[in-house]
Chains A and B, each alone.
Chain A
Amino acid sequence: MRRPGAAFTAYGNPSYYEDRVVRFAAPNRQLRNNGAAWTPLHLLQGTITPNGLHYERHHNGVPDIDPARHELLLHGLVKTPSFFSMDALLAYPMRSQICFVECGGNSNAGWNTSPARSEAGYFHGLVSCSEWTGIPLSILLDEVGVDPAADWLIADGADAFAMNISVPMAKARDDAMLGLYQNGERLRPENGYPLRLILPGWEGVLNVKWLRSLKASKTPIMARNETARYTELLPSGKARMFSFIMQTKSLITSPSADMHLAHGPGIYEITGLAWSGNGRITRVDVSVDGGQSWAAAELQPPVLARAFTRFRIPWQWNGKPAIIMSRAVDETGAVQPARAELLKQRGRHGFYHYNAIVRWAVDETGAVSHTYEGDNAQAIDDFGLDSAWD
Protein backbone atom coordinates (compact mmCIF):
# COMPACT_ATOMS: atom_id res chain seq x y z
CA MET A 1 0.00 0.00 0.00
CA ARG A 2 1.23 3.47 -0.84
CA ARG A 3 0.24 6.58 1.07
CA PRO A 4 -1.14 9.66 -0.75
CA GLY A 5 1.37 12.50 -0.87
CA ALA A 6 1.21 15.97 0.61
CA ALA A 7 -1.26 18.56 -0.64
CA PHE A 8 -0.50 21.62 -2.73
CA THR A 9 1.49 24.53 -1.40
CA ALA A 10 0.70 28.16 -2.21
CA TYR A 11 4.40 28.92 -2.38
CA GLY A 12 6.83 26.04 -2.50
CA ASN A 13 9.86 25.51 -0.31
CA PRO A 14 12.94 23.32 -0.73
CA SER A 15 12.74 19.76 0.54
CA TYR A 16 13.41 19.57 4.25
CA TYR A 17 16.14 17.07 3.45
CA GLU A 18 18.03 20.05 2.02
CA ASP A 19 17.82 22.20 5.14
CA ARG A 20 21.59 22.66 5.36
CA VAL A 21 21.56 24.62 2.07
CA VAL A 22 21.30 28.02 3.69
CA ARG A 23 22.98 31.39 3.80
CA PHE A 24 25.63 31.98 6.43
CA ALA A 25 25.02 35.26 8.23
CA ALA A 26 27.68 37.20 10.10
CA PRO A 27 25.98 40.10 11.84
CA ASN A 28 27.80 42.86 13.64
CA ARG A 29 28.17 41.81 17.27
CA GLN A 30 26.42 44.90 18.61
CA LEU A 31 23.91 45.48 15.82
CA ARG A 32 22.44 42.20 14.64
CA ASN A 33 20.69 43.76 11.63
CA ASN A 34 23.96 45.04 10.18
CA GLY A 35 26.27 42.65 8.40
CA ALA A 36 26.40 40.19 5.54
CA ALA A 37 25.07 36.74 4.65
CA TRP A 38 26.85 34.51 2.15
CA THR A 39 25.34 32.39 -0.65
CA PRO A 40 26.26 28.68 -0.21
CA LEU A 41 27.93 28.49 -3.63
CA HIS A 42 29.50 25.15 -2.73
CA LEU A 43 26.05 23.56 -2.29
CA LEU A 44 24.51 24.88 -5.51
CA GLN A 45 24.72 23.93 -9.18
CA GLY A 46 24.10 25.71 -12.46
CA THR A 47 24.42 29.49 -12.62
CA ILE A 48 21.22 30.98 -11.18
CA THR A 49 21.07 31.69 -7.45
CA PRO A 50 17.71 30.83 -5.87
CA ASN A 51 16.12 34.00 -4.53
CA GLY A 52 16.08 32.79 -0.94
CA LEU A 53 19.83 32.21 -1.11
CA HIS A 54 20.93 35.44 -2.81
CA TYR A 55 23.63 37.04 -0.71
CA GLU A 56 22.63 39.83 1.62
CA ARG A 57 24.54 42.89 2.63
CA HIS A 58 22.68 45.63 4.36
CA HIS A 59 23.87 48.36 6.57
CA ASN A 60 20.99 48.80 8.98
CA GLY A 61 18.43 46.09 8.43
CA VAL A 62 15.79 45.25 5.83
CA PRO A 63 13.07 47.91 5.66
CA ASP A 64 9.39 47.02 5.34
CA ILE A 65 8.24 49.09 2.36
CA ASP A 66 4.63 49.22 1.23
CA PRO A 67 4.81 49.59 -2.56
CA ALA A 68 1.59 51.60 -2.54
CA ARG A 69 3.45 54.28 -0.56
CA HIS A 70 6.80 54.09 -2.32
CA GLU A 71 7.85 56.53 -5.03
CA LEU A 72 11.07 57.16 -6.91
CA LEU A 73 12.16 60.80 -7.21
CA LEU A 74 14.35 61.90 -10.12
CA HIS A 75 15.73 65.37 -9.43
CA GLY A 76 18.80 67.59 -9.46
CA LEU A 77 20.01 68.77 -12.87
CA VAL A 78 16.91 67.71 -14.77
CA LYS A 79 14.27 69.64 -16.69
CA THR A 80 11.25 68.14 -14.93
CA PRO A 81 11.94 66.71 -11.47
CA SER A 82 9.41 63.92 -11.12
CA PHE A 83 8.05 61.23 -8.86
CA PHE A 84 7.28 57.79 -10.24
CA SER A 85 4.93 55.60 -8.23
CA MET A 86 5.45 51.85 -8.22
CA ASP A 87 2.19 51.49 -10.19
CA ALA A 88 3.56 53.85 -12.81
CA LEU A 89 6.92 52.09 -12.99
CA LEU A 90 5.25 48.72 -13.54
CA ALA A 91 3.68 50.15 -16.72
CA TYR A 92 7.05 50.92 -18.33
CA PRO A 93 8.75 48.79 -20.96
CA MET A 94 11.13 46.36 -19.33
CA ARG A 95 14.01 44.11 -20.22
CA SER A 96 15.63 41.14 -18.52
CA GLN A 97 19.31 40.47 -18.01
CA ILE A 98 21.08 37.60 -16.32
CA CYS A 99 23.97 39.08 -14.36
CA PHE A 100 25.84 38.64 -11.13
CA VAL A 101 25.83 41.08 -8.25
CA GLU A 102 28.99 40.92 -6.14
CA CYS A 103 29.80 42.78 -2.95
CA GLY A 104 33.04 44.78 -3.19
CA GLY A 105 34.09 43.06 0.03
CA ASN A 106 33.55 39.54 -1.26
CA SER A 107 36.39 37.07 -0.52
CA ASN A 108 38.08 39.62 1.74
CA ALA A 109 39.32 36.83 4.05
CA GLY A 110 41.78 36.17 1.23
CA TRP A 111 43.83 39.12 2.48
CA ASN A 112 44.40 37.29 5.78
CA THR A 113 47.86 35.85 6.41
CA SER A 114 46.57 32.30 6.75
CA PRO A 115 43.93 30.53 4.66
CA ALA A 116 40.34 30.85 5.84
CA ARG A 117 38.83 27.56 6.94
CA SER A 118 35.25 28.21 5.88
CA GLU A 119 33.47 26.45 3.02
CA ALA A 120 33.80 27.98 -0.46
CA GLY A 121 30.46 29.78 -0.41
CA TYR A 122 30.88 31.12 3.09
CA PHE A 123 34.15 32.66 2.00
CA HIS A 124 33.42 33.75 -1.59
CA GLY A 125 29.60 33.81 -1.59
CA LEU A 126 28.97 37.54 -1.40
CA VAL A 127 28.16 37.11 -5.07
CA SER A 128 25.00 35.71 -6.62
CA CYS A 129 23.55 35.56 -10.12
CA SER A 130 19.96 36.20 -11.11
CA GLU A 131 17.79 37.11 -14.03
CA TRP A 132 16.86 40.69 -13.20
CA THR A 133 13.95 42.38 -14.94
CA GLY A 134 13.33 46.07 -14.84
CA ILE A 135 13.18 49.35 -16.68
CA PRO A 136 16.20 50.61 -18.61
CA LEU A 137 17.14 53.66 -16.54
CA SER A 138 17.84 55.67 -19.70
CA ILE A 139 14.09 55.78 -20.43
CA LEU A 140 13.33 57.70 -17.25
CA LEU A 141 16.43 59.89 -17.63
CA ASP A 142 15.17 60.92 -21.07
CA GLU A 143 11.68 61.58 -19.76
CA VAL A 144 12.86 63.98 -17.04
CA GLY A 145 15.47 65.56 -19.34
CA VAL A 146 18.93 65.34 -17.81
CA ASP A 147 21.24 68.35 -18.17
CA PRO A 148 24.26 67.26 -20.25
CA ALA A 149 26.51 68.75 -17.54
CA ALA A 150 25.36 66.10 -15.06
CA ASP A 151 28.06 63.42 -15.08
CA TRP A 152 26.77 61.63 -11.97
CA LEU A 153 23.59 60.30 -10.44
CA ILE A 154 23.44 60.25 -6.65
CA ALA A 155 21.29 57.36 -5.47
CA ASP A 156 19.55 57.22 -2.08
CA GLY A 157 17.98 54.19 -0.45
CA ALA A 158 14.87 54.21 1.75
CA ASP A 159 16.38 51.98 4.44
CA ALA A 160 17.23 53.09 7.97
CA PHE A 161 20.83 53.60 6.85
CA ALA A 162 19.64 55.85 3.99
CA MET A 163 22.44 54.42 1.84
CA ASN A 164 23.74 56.94 -0.66
CA ILE A 165 26.31 56.60 -3.41
CA SER A 166 27.28 58.22 -6.72
CA VAL A 167 26.84 56.44 -10.04
CA PRO A 168 28.51 57.71 -13.24
CA MET A 169 25.87 58.95 -15.69
CA ALA A 170 27.56 57.01 -18.49
CA LYS A 171 26.81 53.71 -16.73
CA ALA A 172 23.29 54.88 -15.85
CA ARG A 173 22.67 55.53 -19.56
CA ASP A 174 24.47 52.44 -20.78
CA ASP A 175 22.98 49.35 -19.14
CA ALA A 176 21.64 50.40 -15.73
CA MET A 177 18.24 49.07 -14.85
CA LEU A 178 15.57 49.91 -12.28
CA GLY A 179 15.22 46.37 -10.99
CA LEU A 180 11.70 45.16 -10.17
CA TYR A 181 11.84 41.39 -10.63
CA GLN A 182 14.40 38.77 -9.60
CA ASN A 183 14.22 35.40 -11.31
CA GLY A 184 10.67 36.09 -12.43
CA GLU A 185 9.18 37.22 -9.14
CA ARG A 186 9.21 40.60 -7.48
CA LEU A 187 12.40 41.45 -5.59
CA ARG A 188 12.83 39.86 -2.19
CA PRO A 189 12.74 42.39 0.69
CA GLU A 190 16.39 41.69 1.52
CA ASN A 191 17.28 42.37 -2.11
CA GLY A 192 15.63 45.75 -2.32
CA TYR A 193 11.87 45.34 -2.58
CA PRO A 194 10.16 47.11 -4.21
CA LEU A 195 12.87 48.81 -6.32
CA ARG A 196 16.62 48.63 -6.67
CA LEU A 197 19.34 49.70 -9.05
CA ILE A 198 21.00 47.02 -11.13
CA LEU A 199 24.36 47.98 -12.62
CA PRO A 200 25.59 44.85 -14.40
CA GLY A 201 29.14 43.89 -13.44
CA TRP A 202 29.59 46.71 -10.95
CA GLU A 203 30.29 46.55 -7.24
CA GLY A 204 27.25 45.51 -5.20
CA VAL A 205 27.10 48.67 -3.09
CA LEU A 206 26.20 50.71 -6.20
CA ASN A 207 23.20 48.48 -6.91
CA VAL A 208 21.26 50.53 -4.36
CA LYS A 209 18.39 48.63 -2.77
CA TRP A 210 15.07 50.16 -1.67
CA LEU A 211 15.83 52.95 -4.15
CA ARG A 212 14.09 56.21 -3.26
CA SER A 213 15.77 58.96 -5.25
CA LEU A 214 18.25 59.68 -8.01
CA LYS A 215 19.78 63.13 -8.24
CA ALA A 216 21.59 64.28 -11.36
CA SER A 217 24.75 66.11 -10.33
CA LYS A 218 27.94 67.53 -11.83
CA THR A 219 30.08 65.86 -9.16
CA PRO A 220 29.89 62.79 -6.92
CA ILE A 221 28.66 63.38 -3.36
CA MET A 222 31.73 61.67 -1.82
CA ALA A 223 29.51 59.61 0.45
CA ARG A 224 31.00 57.57 3.28
CA ASN A 225 30.64 54.42 1.18
CA GLU A 226 32.69 55.79 -1.69
CA THR A 227 35.44 57.37 0.43
CA ALA A 228 35.96 55.87 3.89
CA ARG A 229 34.70 52.50 2.62
CA TYR A 230 34.71 50.71 -0.73
CA THR A 231 38.10 52.26 -1.51
CA GLU A 232 41.30 50.22 -1.57
CA LEU A 233 44.37 51.33 0.31
CA LEU A 234 47.54 50.54 -1.64
CA PRO A 235 51.07 49.93 -0.28
CA SER A 236 51.98 53.48 -1.36
CA GLY A 237 49.52 54.88 1.20
CA LYS A 238 47.25 56.13 -1.60
CA ALA A 239 43.87 54.48 -2.10
CA ARG A 240 41.93 53.52 -5.21
CA MET A 241 38.45 55.03 -5.39
CA PHE A 242 35.53 54.53 -7.81
CA SER A 243 36.81 51.00 -8.44
CA PHE A 244 33.41 49.98 -9.72
CA ILE A 245 34.06 47.03 -12.02
CA MET A 246 34.24 43.61 -10.38
CA GLN A 247 37.29 41.95 -11.86
CA THR A 248 37.79 38.55 -13.48
CA LYS A 249 37.35 35.77 -10.99
CA SER A 250 36.70 32.06 -10.68
CA LEU A 251 36.35 29.47 -8.00
CA ILE A 252 36.09 25.69 -7.92
CA THR A 253 32.88 24.99 -6.01
CA SER A 254 33.31 21.21 -6.03
CA PRO A 255 35.43 19.68 -4.75
CA SER A 256 36.09 22.54 -2.33
CA ALA A 257 36.98 23.20 1.30
CA ASP A 258 35.45 20.85 3.84
CA MET A 259 34.35 18.35 1.21
CA HIS A 260 35.62 14.82 0.95
CA LEU A 261 36.38 12.66 -2.10
CA ALA A 262 34.37 9.89 -0.55
CA HIS A 263 34.71 7.24 -3.24
CA GLY A 264 38.49 6.92 -3.16
CA PRO A 265 40.66 7.22 -6.25
CA GLY A 266 38.65 7.54 -9.45
CA ILE A 267 36.81 10.01 -11.65
CA TYR A 268 35.53 13.25 -10.11
CA GLU A 269 34.06 16.24 -11.88
CA ILE A 270 35.78 19.50 -11.02
CA THR A 271 33.23 22.28 -11.41
CA GLY A 272 32.96 25.89 -10.48
CA LEU A 273 31.94 29.39 -11.40
CA ALA A 274 33.68 32.16 -13.28
CA TRP A 275 32.54 35.74 -13.78
CA SER A 276 33.83 39.16 -14.78
CA GLY A 277 32.42 42.67 -14.65
CA ASN A 278 34.29 43.41 -17.88
CA GLY A 279 32.16 41.09 -20.01
CA ARG A 280 32.11 37.45 -21.08
CA ILE A 281 34.36 34.74 -19.70
CA THR A 282 36.37 33.29 -22.57
CA ARG A 283 38.44 30.63 -20.81
CA VAL A 284 38.81 28.87 -17.49
CA ASP A 285 41.94 26.82 -16.94
CA VAL A 286 42.09 24.22 -14.21
CA SER A 287 45.20 22.81 -12.55
CA VAL A 288 45.39 19.78 -10.26
CA ASP A 289 49.13 20.08 -9.58
CA GLY A 290 49.31 23.46 -7.90
CA GLY A 291 49.67 25.41 -11.13
CA GLN A 292 52.49 23.52 -12.84
CA SER A 293 50.16 22.49 -15.67
CA TRP A 294 46.74 23.71 -16.77
CA ALA A 295 43.89 22.33 -18.86
CA ALA A 296 40.99 24.28 -20.35
CA ALA A 297 37.67 23.45 -18.71
CA GLU A 298 34.44 23.20 -20.65
CA LEU A 299 32.35 26.36 -20.38
CA GLN A 300 28.70 25.41 -20.05
CA PRO A 301 26.40 27.45 -22.29
CA PRO A 302 25.04 30.02 -22.15
CA VAL A 303 28.19 32.07 -21.56
CA LEU A 304 26.83 35.53 -20.87
CA ALA A 305 28.55 38.84 -20.22
CA ARG A 306 28.69 39.82 -16.54
CA ALA A 307 26.98 36.60 -15.49
CA PHE A 308 28.07 33.41 -13.76
CA THR A 309 29.65 30.95 -16.18
CA ARG A 310 29.66 27.33 -15.04
CA PHE A 311 32.81 25.39 -15.91
CA ARG A 312 33.39 21.65 -15.72
CA ILE A 313 36.26 19.26 -16.28
CA PRO A 314 36.60 15.59 -15.37
CA TRP A 315 39.49 14.63 -13.11
CA GLN A 316 41.06 11.24 -12.52
CA TRP A 317 42.19 11.41 -8.89
CA ASN A 318 45.02 8.98 -8.25
CA GLY A 319 44.65 9.07 -4.47
CA LYS A 320 47.71 11.24 -3.92
CA PRO A 321 47.72 14.74 -2.44
CA ALA A 322 46.77 17.35 -5.04
CA ILE A 323 46.30 21.11 -5.25
CA ILE A 324 43.35 22.05 -7.45
CA MET A 325 42.73 25.56 -8.70
CA SER A 326 41.02 27.53 -11.48
CA ARG A 327 42.04 30.62 -13.43
CA ALA A 328 39.58 32.69 -15.46
CA VAL A 329 40.20 34.87 -18.52
CA ASP A 330 37.62 37.32 -19.89
CA GLU A 331 36.97 38.83 -23.30
CA THR A 332 39.12 41.88 -22.56
CA GLY A 333 42.06 39.53 -21.98
CA ALA A 334 42.05 40.13 -18.22
CA VAL A 335 43.47 37.12 -16.39
CA GLN A 336 42.61 36.22 -12.81
CA PRO A 337 45.80 36.86 -10.79
CA ALA A 338 47.65 34.52 -8.46
CA ARG A 339 47.39 35.59 -4.83
CA ALA A 340 51.07 36.57 -4.63
CA GLU A 341 50.67 38.78 -7.69
CA LEU A 342 47.56 40.47 -6.26
CA LEU A 343 49.31 41.10 -2.92
CA LYS A 344 52.29 42.56 -4.76
CA GLN A 345 50.08 45.03 -6.62
CA ARG A 346 47.65 45.84 -3.87
CA GLY A 347 49.28 45.12 -0.52
CA ARG A 348 47.23 43.57 2.28
CA HIS A 349 45.03 46.38 3.48
CA GLY A 350 42.79 47.17 0.52
CA PHE A 351 40.02 44.91 1.89
CA TYR A 352 37.83 45.18 -1.25
CA HIS A 353 38.12 43.62 -4.71
CA TYR A 354 39.96 40.42 -3.83
CA ASN A 355 39.89 38.22 -6.96
CA ALA A 356 42.94 35.96 -6.65
CA ILE A 357 43.11 32.32 -7.73
CA VAL A 358 41.76 30.01 -5.01
CA ARG A 359 43.71 26.84 -4.16
CA TRP A 360 42.13 23.77 -2.62
CA ALA A 361 44.40 21.06 -1.19
CA VAL A 362 43.25 17.45 -1.43
CA ASP A 363 45.06 15.10 0.98
CA GLU A 364 45.58 11.37 0.59
CA THR A 365 42.34 10.63 2.48
CA GLY A 366 40.39 12.80 0.02
CA ALA A 367 39.79 15.62 2.51
CA VAL A 368 39.74 19.08 0.89
CA SER A 369 40.97 22.25 2.55
CA HIS A 370 41.93 25.80 1.63
CA THR A 371 45.61 26.52 1.13
CA TYR A 372 47.88 29.33 0.04
CA GLU A 373 50.87 28.91 -2.21
CA GLY A 374 53.85 27.91 -0.06
CA ASP A 375 51.68 27.75 3.05
CA ASN A 376 51.11 25.04 5.57
CA ALA A 377 47.48 24.04 5.15
CA GLN A 378 47.25 23.51 8.91
CA ALA A 379 47.96 27.17 9.69
CA ILE A 380 45.72 28.68 12.29
CA ASP A 381 42.56 30.43 11.23
CA ASP A 382 42.64 34.18 11.55
CA PHE A 383 39.39 34.67 9.64
CA GLY A 384 37.71 37.17 11.87
CA LEU A 385 35.06 39.47 10.52
CA ASP A 386 36.41 42.84 11.33
CA SER A 387 34.60 46.09 11.68
CA ALA A 388 34.66 46.62 7.93
CA TRP A 389 31.13 45.16 7.93
CA ASP A 390 29.78 48.11 9.87
Chain B
Amino acid sequence: MHKRLMILALILLGTRPLNAAQWQGPPATPGLGRPASAAEIAKLDWGVMPDGSGLPAGAGSVAQGERIYAMHCISCHGQGGLGDGGDQLAGAVMQLTDEWPEKTVGTYWPYATTLFDFIRRSMPMTRPGVLSDSEVYAVTAYILHLNGILAADAVLNASTLKDITLPNHEGFIPMPH
Protein backbone atom coordinates (compact mmCIF):
# COMPACT_ATOMS: atom_id res chain seq x y z
CA MET B 1 0.00 0.00 0.00
CA HIS B 2 2.75 2.39 0.99
CA LYS B 3 4.54 1.65 -2.28
CA ARG B 4 1.40 2.32 -4.31
CA LEU B 5 0.95 5.67 -2.63
CA MET B 6 4.55 6.52 -3.44
CA ILE B 7 3.95 5.73 -7.11
CA LEU B 8 0.76 7.80 -7.10
CA ALA B 9 2.65 10.68 -5.53
CA LEU B 10 5.37 10.44 -8.19
CA ILE B 11 2.76 10.51 -10.96
CA LEU B 12 1.15 13.57 -9.41
CA LEU B 13 4.51 15.25 -9.05
CA GLY B 14 5.18 14.54 -12.69
CA THR B 15 2.03 16.30 -13.81
CA ARG B 16 1.94 19.19 -11.34
CA PRO B 17 4.73 21.61 -10.57
CA LEU B 18 6.47 21.25 -7.25
CA ASN B 19 5.99 24.89 -6.43
CA ALA B 20 3.03 26.35 -8.24
CA ALA B 21 4.12 29.93 -7.60
CA GLN B 22 7.31 29.60 -9.63
CA TRP B 23 5.35 28.33 -12.63
CA GLN B 24 3.08 31.35 -13.08
CA GLY B 25 3.41 33.33 -16.30
CA PRO B 26 5.71 32.51 -19.20
CA PRO B 27 8.11 29.60 -18.71
CA ALA B 28 11.14 30.74 -16.77
CA THR B 29 14.52 30.23 -18.38
CA PRO B 30 17.84 30.31 -16.56
CA GLY B 31 18.95 33.77 -17.71
CA LEU B 32 22.64 32.98 -17.31
CA GLY B 33 23.90 35.40 -19.94
CA ARG B 34 26.53 37.92 -18.92
CA PRO B 35 25.88 41.34 -20.48
CA ALA B 36 28.58 42.10 -23.04
CA SER B 37 30.34 45.46 -23.08
CA ALA B 38 30.80 47.44 -26.29
CA ALA B 39 34.54 46.78 -26.15
CA GLU B 40 34.02 43.03 -25.80
CA ILE B 41 31.57 43.00 -28.70
CA ALA B 42 33.91 45.01 -30.91
CA LYS B 43 36.55 42.28 -30.68
CA LEU B 44 34.20 39.70 -32.21
CA ASP B 45 31.99 41.90 -34.39
CA TRP B 46 34.22 42.03 -37.44
CA GLY B 47 31.89 40.99 -40.23
CA VAL B 48 31.57 43.27 -43.24
CA MET B 49 28.08 43.78 -44.63
CA PRO B 50 27.15 44.36 -48.31
CA ASP B 51 26.32 48.02 -47.52
CA GLY B 52 29.90 48.50 -46.31
CA SER B 53 29.07 48.58 -42.62
CA GLY B 54 31.82 46.93 -40.66
CA LEU B 55 34.56 48.08 -43.04
CA PRO B 56 37.50 49.33 -40.97
CA ALA B 57 39.78 52.34 -41.41
CA GLY B 58 42.82 51.92 -43.63
CA ALA B 59 43.56 51.91 -47.35
CA GLY B 60 45.55 49.94 -49.87
CA SER B 61 46.53 50.28 -53.52
CA VAL B 62 46.52 47.81 -56.39
CA ALA B 63 50.33 48.04 -56.52
CA GLN B 64 50.69 47.24 -52.82
CA GLY B 65 48.21 44.43 -53.28
CA GLU B 66 50.25 42.88 -56.06
CA ARG B 67 53.28 42.63 -53.73
CA ILE B 68 51.18 41.13 -50.90
CA TYR B 69 49.57 38.70 -53.33
CA ALA B 70 53.00 37.51 -54.48
CA MET B 71 53.99 36.87 -50.88
CA HIS B 72 50.85 35.31 -49.38
CA CYS B 73 48.42 34.24 -52.09
CA ILE B 74 50.18 33.17 -55.25
CA SER B 75 51.13 29.66 -54.08
CA CYS B 76 47.48 28.57 -54.05
CA HIS B 77 45.73 31.10 -56.27
CA GLY B 78 48.36 31.21 -59.00
CA GLN B 79 49.84 33.90 -61.21
CA GLY B 80 47.21 36.50 -62.05
CA GLY B 81 44.62 34.74 -59.86
CA LEU B 82 44.25 31.86 -62.31
CA GLY B 83 44.00 29.31 -59.50
CA ASP B 84 46.33 26.50 -58.44
CA GLY B 85 44.85 24.31 -55.72
CA GLY B 86 43.03 27.36 -54.40
CA ASP B 87 40.16 29.11 -56.12
CA GLN B 88 40.49 30.73 -59.50
CA LEU B 89 39.93 34.39 -58.69
CA ALA B 90 40.30 36.08 -62.07
CA GLY B 91 41.16 35.59 -65.71
CA ALA B 92 37.95 33.84 -66.73
CA VAL B 93 37.77 33.06 -70.43
CA MET B 94 34.52 31.12 -70.17
CA GLN B 95 31.34 32.88 -69.13
CA LEU B 96 28.64 31.43 -66.86
CA THR B 97 26.52 30.09 -69.71
CA ASP B 98 29.47 28.44 -71.49
CA GLU B 99 30.03 24.71 -71.39
CA TRP B 100 32.81 24.99 -68.80
CA PRO B 101 31.98 28.15 -66.86
CA GLU B 102 34.68 29.83 -64.78
CA LYS B 103 33.31 31.23 -61.54
CA THR B 104 35.65 34.06 -60.60
CA VAL B 105 35.25 37.29 -58.67
CA GLY B 106 34.63 39.01 -62.01
CA THR B 107 32.16 36.51 -63.44
CA TYR B 108 30.40 35.12 -60.36
CA TRP B 109 30.83 36.91 -57.04
CA PRO B 110 27.94 39.32 -56.30
CA TYR B 111 29.56 41.61 -53.69
CA ALA B 112 33.00 43.19 -53.40
CA THR B 113 32.54 43.55 -49.62
CA THR B 114 32.55 39.74 -49.42
CA LEU B 115 36.09 39.71 -50.74
CA PHE B 116 37.29 41.96 -47.91
CA ASP B 117 35.32 40.05 -45.26
CA PHE B 118 36.61 36.70 -46.45
CA ILE B 119 40.26 37.66 -46.91
CA ARG B 120 40.39 39.33 -43.52
CA ARG B 121 38.82 36.42 -41.63
CA SER B 122 40.16 33.40 -43.50
CA MET B 123 43.23 34.25 -45.58
CA PRO B 124 45.97 33.32 -46.07
CA MET B 125 45.05 29.78 -45.06
CA THR B 126 48.46 29.06 -43.57
CA ARG B 127 48.52 32.26 -41.50
CA PRO B 128 44.99 33.71 -41.21
CA GLY B 129 45.01 37.12 -39.55
CA VAL B 130 48.56 38.01 -40.60
CA LEU B 131 47.43 40.84 -42.88
CA SER B 132 46.65 44.31 -41.52
CA ASP B 133 43.38 45.95 -42.55
CA SER B 134 45.25 48.14 -45.04
CA GLU B 135 46.93 45.07 -46.51
CA VAL B 136 43.50 43.43 -46.87
CA TYR B 137 42.28 46.53 -48.74
CA ALA B 138 45.36 46.31 -50.95
CA VAL B 139 45.01 42.66 -51.87
CA THR B 140 41.26 43.16 -52.43
CA ALA B 141 42.13 46.02 -54.77
CA TYR B 142 44.61 43.85 -56.67
CA ILE B 143 42.09 41.02 -57.15
CA LEU B 144 39.48 43.51 -58.36
CA HIS B 145 42.11 44.93 -60.71
CA LEU B 146 42.87 41.44 -62.08
CA ASN B 147 39.16 41.23 -62.90
CA GLY B 148 39.16 44.54 -64.75
CA ILE B 149 37.05 46.21 -62.06
CA LEU B 150 39.69 48.62 -60.70
CA ALA B 151 42.32 50.59 -62.61
CA ALA B 152 46.01 49.89 -62.01
CA ASP B 153 46.42 53.07 -59.96
CA ALA B 154 43.32 52.58 -57.79
CA VAL B 155 43.32 52.84 -54.00
CA LEU B 156 40.70 51.06 -51.94
CA ASN B 157 39.26 52.15 -48.60
CA ALA B 158 35.92 51.83 -46.78
CA SER B 159 34.24 54.45 -48.91
CA THR B 160 35.53 53.32 -52.34
CA LEU B 161 34.97 49.63 -51.64
CA LYS B 162 31.33 49.95 -50.63
CA ASP B 163 30.53 51.74 -53.89
CA ILE B 164 31.79 48.94 -56.15
CA THR B 165 29.14 46.90 -57.94
CA LEU B 166 30.41 43.61 -59.31
CA PRO B 167 29.33 42.45 -62.80
CA ASN B 168 27.32 39.46 -61.49
CA HIS B 169 25.52 41.46 -58.80
CA GLU B 170 22.10 40.52 -60.25
CA GLY B 171 23.06 36.92 -60.97
CA PHE B 172 21.42 35.19 -58.00
CA ILE B 173 17.94 33.85 -57.33
CA PRO B 174 17.08 33.52 -53.62
CA MET B 175 15.34 30.20 -52.98
CA PRO B 176 12.19 30.00 -50.84
CA HIS B 177 12.72 28.42 -47.44
Contact B36 A60 (CB under 8 A): no
Asked whether B23 is an interface residue with its Cβ less than 8 Å from the other chain, the reply is no
Task: For residue A101, give the distance in angstroms from its CB to the closest CB of chain B.
Answer: 17
Given A34-B125, A237-B95, A387-B83, A222-B177 contact (CB < 8 Å): no
Per-position 1/0 for B28-42, Cβ under 8 A of A: 011111111000110
Contact B173 A349 (CB under 8 A): no
A337 and B130 CA atoms in complex are apart in Å by 46
Contact A242 B36 (CB under 8 A): no
Given A222-B113, A223-B117, A92-B32 contact (CB < 8 Å): yes
Asked whether B49 is an interface residue with its Cβ less than 8 Å from the other chain, the reply is yes
Segment 1-56 of B: residues with Cβ below 8 Å from A: 29-36, 40-41, 44-45, 47-51
Given A213-B44, A222-B110, A233-B96, A60-B125 contact (CB < 8 Å): yes
The interface residues of chain A lying within 8 Å CB-to-CB of B101 are 233, 237, 349
Contact B29 A240 (CB under 8 A): no
Asked whether A124 is an interface residue with its Cβ less than 8 Å from the other chain, the reply is no
Asked whether A82 is an interface residue with its Cβ less than 8 Å from the other chain, the reply is yes
Contact A156 B172 (CB under 8 A): no
The interface residues of chain B lying within 8 Å CB-to-CB of A82 are 33-36
Segment 59-86 of B: residues with Cβ below 8 Å from A: 75-76, 83, 85-86
Task: For residue A336, give the distance in angstroms from its CB to the closest CB of chain B.
Answer: 18
Asked whether A379 is an interface residue with its Cβ less than 8 Å from the other chain, the reply is no
Segment 138-169 of A: residues with Cβ below 8 Å from B: 139-140, 142-144, 154, 156, 160-162, 164, 168
Contact A83 B34 (CB under 8 A): yes
Asked whether B108 is an interface residue with its Cβ less than 8 Å from the other chain, the reply is yes
Asked whether B162 is an interface residue with its Cβ less than 8 Å from the other chain, the reply is no
Contact A154 B47 (CB under 8 A): yes
Per-position 1/0 for B95-124, Cβ under 8 A of A: 111001101010011110110011001100
Asked whether B57 is an interface residue with its Cβ less than 8 Å from the other chain, the reply is no
Chain A interface category by residue count: 35 or more
Asked whether A85 is an interface residue with its Cβ less than 8 Å from the other chain, the reply is yes
* Nearest B residue (CB) for A166: B47
Contact A30 B171 (CB under 8 A): no
Contact B30 A88 (CB under 8 A): yes
Kindly name the residue among B83, B117, B125 whose own CB sees the greatest number of chain A CB atoms within 10 A. B125
Question: Quick one: which of A88, A231, A239 contacts B33, CB cutoff 8 A?
Answer: A88
Given A164-B117, A237-B96, A227-B44 contact (CB < 8 Å): no
Question: Quick one: which of B47, B110, B118, B175 contacts A242, CB cutoff 8 A?
Answer: B175
The interface residues of chain B lying within 8 Å CB-to-CB of A38 are none
Per-position 1/0 for A55-85, Cβ under 8 A of B: 0000110000000000001111000111111
Contact A83 B175 (CB under 8 A): no
Contact A30 B75 (CB under 8 A): yes
Asked whether A215 is an interface residue with its Cβ less than 8 Å from the other chain, the reply is yes
The interface residues of chain A lying within 8 Å CB-to-CB of B88 are 387
Contact B34 A242 (CB under 8 A): no
Task: For residue B89, give the distance in angstroms from its CB to the closest CB of chain A.
Answer: 10
A92 and B30 CA atoms in complex are apart in Å by 6
* Nearest B residue (CB) for A84: B33
Asked whether A31 is an interface residue with its Cβ less than 8 Å from the other chain, the reply is yes
Asked whether A7 is an interface residue with its Cβ less than 8 Å from the other chain, the reply is no
The interface residues of chain A lying within 8 Å CB-to-CB of B177 are 168, 171, 242, 244-245
The interface residues of chain A lying within 8 Å CB-to-CB of B40 are 73, 83
A243 and B175 CA atoms in complex are apart in Å by 5
Task: For residue A169, give the distance in angstroms from its CB to the closest CB of chain B.
Answer: 12
The interface residues of chain A lying within 8 Å CB-to-CB of B117 are 164, 221, 223-224
Nearest 3 pairs of A and B residues by beta carbon = A82-B33, A88-B32, A162-B121
Between-chain CB contacts (< 8 Å), 6 pairs: A88-B30, A162-B128, A168-B177, A219-B51, A240-B173, A242-B175
